[in-house]
Amino acid sequence: MIDVKHIAKLARLGLGKDEEKKFEKELEAILDFVEKLNEAKTEGAEPTAQITGAINVSREDKTEPLWENPEIKKDILANAPAKEGKFFRVKRVLE
Amino acid sequence: MSLNKLTITKAADGLRKKQFSSLELTEAVFSQIKKTDEEIGAFLLLAEEEAQNQAKEIDKKLARGEKLGGIAGIPAAIKDNILVKGLKCTAGSKILENYLAPYDATVVSKLKEAGAVIIGKTNMDEFAMGSSTENSAFKKTKNPQDLSCVPGGSSGGSAAAVAANETIFALGSDTGGSIRQPAAFCGVVGLKPTYGAVSRFGLMAMASSLDQIGPLTKSVEDSQIVFDAIYGKDRLDSTSVASKFQNPADIGNLRIGLPKEYFAQGLEPEVEKSVRSAIEKFSDSGAKIKEISLPFSEYALACYYIIMPSEVSANLARYDGIKYGLSKERDNLLNVYLASRQEGFGDEVRRRVMLGTYTLSAGYYDAYYLKAQKVRTLIKRDFEKAFREVDLIMTPTSPTPAFKLGEKIEDPIKMYLSDIYTVPMNLAGLPALSLPCGRAVRGSGSAEPGGSSGGLPISLQIIGPQWSEPKIFSAALYFEKKFNGLTS
């Protein structure tokens, strides 16, 4: 049984009271559906994360010029619900 | 002929010959939108003034005799999860209802440099999660072929806009079929490129290892023109790759594979009939058609529904009510997160975020995510093995034509099954193109291959190895010519 309340909190999603039951039913049905994977014989298969075979693509440790553009910086910050000067304003993280 | 009905090829020809201006072409598209979009609902936002200014710029360049590319002066609609600087970008979600894009996605910069005229943003399932566009927080889009049907999804707005001649072409994104399935439902051409061929920079990430941007167009030639304008390695997307394209196909020597797992239970008989008769057309010119097997196909959808939500749960963590978007004022930070995300996200998004959080959580990771990644390897190997015997694989794009609005929205798994033929290519990173190959009158059982009168479109999917886009295009062009020969 999936503990929807716990998962929702891990996922930082608020749920209404009657929503817990609804999502529990739906998520159980999807998990039943994906159970099928247990039938697949995967011995000897390496996991695939990047399908083109790219591994650890690195770049120089320099800021991309795009992010130095003052207009873009201003526009990015303009989308923030709360800001102070050139910073995002966040509620206290540590009590 | 009304200008808004033109393909890119024909419109570009008319512009070059000065038969009309880009401004006239752009105005024809907007006048169509005003006539039909209230009913169809393809667009979330129109940028009429910006588009007119862009068109005038191009007209000046044309008047000066500047040599411009194939999409210069051509109107384009952009799916609303792709950033266009200065325009709202909502991804169909309430959580981004007022988000203003601070910069252009790489594909948009490329289109702008090539002179395309961006006319607006199209409707979609919230954060591209869905197969009907019914998961948009803002409106339902209707299928221009039959207004009681869905346009498919998640790029339903882009597909409907092209089908209704409300634009000349559109961009969409495809994570598990989101370009190809709506293209099939609306009767237009849709391409999902090789993973890494097109930069994802400025595309709102859904499942990063699967997402690709691609064109929705009125013809195969147009698809190729747009693809040529947008592909290429981009330093802003470290998963983009330098292209290494295969050569176009010689139809006379083409070997085509029909995977038996795709012509099985669940496929509507009239879709099967129409697709099989489409594939037969290739043997007229000497192509060899053979049945093949992709044994891991049966696990593809289950594999997708672990990998995709896992990546979704990580990617959507950024919508937290702090950096942008909807934010609910609460007493502490945790409650700000909980309330903002509860109110901002719709049901399908919350389902997938929770599913991914679960499959990645301690104690379940090996059983779900790691297992799915291994199955992904086996699905990829299936295709590699098949492509040693055949050059291209052909299948239906979707097991059914467009379904009715409301038909599947209450049953997530039923909705998921409509992507059964498109999901495997995303898992394997393969290019695949969907193009119309017939019409179906649902329920009557009478397939009408090549018929153009009435009924819902049926589409053929052409799949190739990574970087086989030129091969896919040449096969699709061959078929399109034959198909149009039948209908005209």
Whether residues A11 and B313 touch (CB distance < 8 A) is answered with: yes
Please report, as a single letter, which amino acid is at residue B33: I
Going from N- to C-terminal start, the domains of chain A cover: 4-39
Residue B102, pLDDT above cutoff 90: yes
Over residues B415-444, the pLDDT tens digits come to 999 999 999 999 999 999 999 999 987 544
pLDDT number for residue B442: 58
Mean pLDDT, chain B, integer: 95
By annotation, the residues of B acting in catalysis are 79, 154, 178
Whether residues A40 and B378 touch (CB distance < 8 A) is answered with: yes
Once rounded to an integer, what is the mean pLDDT over residues B152-168?
98
pLDDT number for residue A55: 86
The Cα of A39 is separated from the nearest Cα of chain B by a number of Å equal to 9
Whether residues A33 and B302 touch (CB distance < 8 A) is answered with: yes
Residue whose structure tokens are 């819902």 = B456
pLDDT number for residue A32: 95
pLDDT number for residue B445: 41
CB atoms within 10 A of CB A76: 17
Identify the three-state secondary structure at position B460: strand
Residue B412 exposure: Cα atoms within 13 Å on the Cβ side? 21
Over residues B323-354, the pLDDT tens digits come to 999 999 999 999 999 999 999 999 999 999 99
Instruction: Kindly state whether A87 is in contact with chain B, defined as any CB-CB distance less than 8 angstroms.
Output: no
Consecutive H or E run containing B179: none
- First-to-last C-alpha distance (Å) of chain B: 15
Please report which confidence band the pLDDT of residue B232 belongs to, taking 50, 70 and 90 as the band edges: very high
Residue of B nearest to A4 (CA): B354
Nearest residue, CB atoms, B377 vs list A34, A48, A72: A48
DSSP B366: I
- The answer for residues whose C-beta is within 8 angstroms of residue B348's C-beta and 6 or more apart is B125, B126, B129, B130, B135, B412
Whether residues A46 and B374 touch (CB distance < 8 A) is answered with: yes
Q: Tell me, what's the ipTM? A: 0.96
- Which residues of B are less than 8 Å from A9 in CB distance? 338
Whether the CB-CB separation of B402 and B152 falls below 8 Å is answered with yes
d(CA B456, CA B438): 8
Structure tokens at A17: 């009271």
Instruction: Indicate the number of domains in chain B.
Output: 1
Residue of B nearest to A9 (CA): B338
The Cα of A21 is separated from the nearest Cα of chain B by a number of Å equal to 12
Residue B487, pLDDT above cutoff 90: no
Q: Which CATH number goes with the domain that contains B273?
A: 3.90.1300.10
- Pairing outcome for strands A87-88 and B75-79: unpaired
**DSSP-assigned letters across all residues of B210-222:** T-EEEEEESSHHH
Residue range(s) defining the domain that contains residue B286: 1-488
d(CA B434, CA B456): 15
Torsion of CA B447, B257, B302, B371, to 10 degrees: 180
Q: Which residues pair with B231 in a beta bridge?
A: B198
Whether the CB-CB separation of B309 and B356 falls below 8 Å is answered with yes
